[in-house]
Structure 1
Amino acid sequence: MINIRSAVLADLEALSGLLDGYRQFYNQPSDIGAARDFLRQRFGQADSRILVSENSDGNLTGFVQLYPGVSTVGLNARWTLNDLFVLPECRDKGTGRALMEAVTQLAREHGVARLILMTQVENERAQQLYESLGWQRNTAFYGYLLDIK
């Protein structure tokens, strides 16, 4: 059974390992200390919402992280789903779907008008999950990045 809940500070160590795995998935070098510091900052500043999945033994198997924002044009709240990660051995078992469904429910409960996410063009597995849950690919806007160094 998959349990989805809000992350708490007591999850920091296990969640740091998941975040490190997520970053490695995106070809970043492993740095568990930096992952821990980053998450400690998120908890301290309360600037994101993190949901975790846990198995029947209480071990964390995945997480999703949301960053709140607003839309001037829509005059409403929007959350950016920035991170979704499930341990490789827990994939194809409904964990990612459960996390995504929990995010949608949480957004509804908080009156959030829109959820937004971006994924790599090559990440077809994630795209299939998102589209199966009713997410629509944005074809109206181009995304741009500017790295500030």
Structure 2
Amino acid sequence: MEIRQIYLHEAALVVNLFDQYRVFYKQASDLKRAQQFIEARLGNNESVIFVAFAELNGQKHPVGFTQLYPTYSSVRTIRNWILNDLFVQDAFRENGIGEALIRRAMQFSVASGAHFLQLETAVDNLTAQKLYERIGFRQKQPDTDFLVYRIPLI
């Protein structure tokens, strides 16, 4: 498995995964919309995307991704990161790909000088919650629809 950051000229590598991610969250499949969204985020430097590649029949194929968005602290005058999207195709789950993507996002965040990496997930997504807590994320504040997790990086 390889995990690497992608850039605008590589947006097509993640469009299908992003569309599957949206379908997982009960949105209608829309590849054109997915492509436009990803290209806009990368083209405007509004997000950072890491893609996991697995080897299939001698070729590397994208099988998972995570997308990070910056957030800023005026008081600390720093940028932090929100891990907004994390998705691994069904056939590749439970192989450590999700955790590897999160850990790569953590490394990137530390290297960029961030004080924390934050994420949230649906209250009923117990599998994800267990993963996040095993890595070291802790709940920030209870909510009725989502749990917000944050991990200190320094």
Same fold (TM over 0.5): yes
- Corresponding position: 1:13 with 2:15: no
Unaligned segments of structure 1, at least 5 residues: 145-149
Is the counterpart of residue 39 in structure 1 residue 41 in structure 2? Answer: no
Amino acid at match of 1:15: V
Superposition deviation, residue 14 in structure 1: 3.2
CA distance in 2, matches of 1:4, 1:65: 13
Shift, 1:7, TM fit: 1.2
TM-superposed CA distance for 1:76, in Å, is 2.8
Q: Give the structure 2 partner of residue 88 of structure 1.
A: 90
Task: Output the TM-score relative to the length of structure 1.
Answer: 0.88
The aligned counterpart of 2:28 is 29
- State the distance in 2 between where 1:98 and 1:24 align: 23
What residue is the counterpart of 2:62 in the other structure? 60
Q: 1:107 to 1:82 in 2, by over 3 A?
A: same
Change (3 A) 1:110 1:143: farther
What is the root-mean-square deviation of aligned Cα atoms in Å? Answer: 2.0
- Structure 2: give runs of 5+ residues left out of the alignment: 147-154
Give how far 1:80 is off.
Answer: 0.8
Alpha-carbon distance between aligned partners in 2 of 1:141 and 1:100, rounded to the nearest angstrom = 23
SS at match of 1:83: strand
Give the CA deviation at 1:10: 4.3
Q: In the aligned structure 1, how far is the partner of 2:140 from the partner of 2:100?
A: 23
Q: Percent identity?
A: 36
- Residue 11 of structure 2 aligns with an amino acid whose one-letter code is L
- Aligned-partner Cα distance in 1 for 2:60–2:9: 12
The structure richer in strand per residue is 2
SS in 2 for 1:122: coil
Q: Partner residue of 2:121?
A: 119
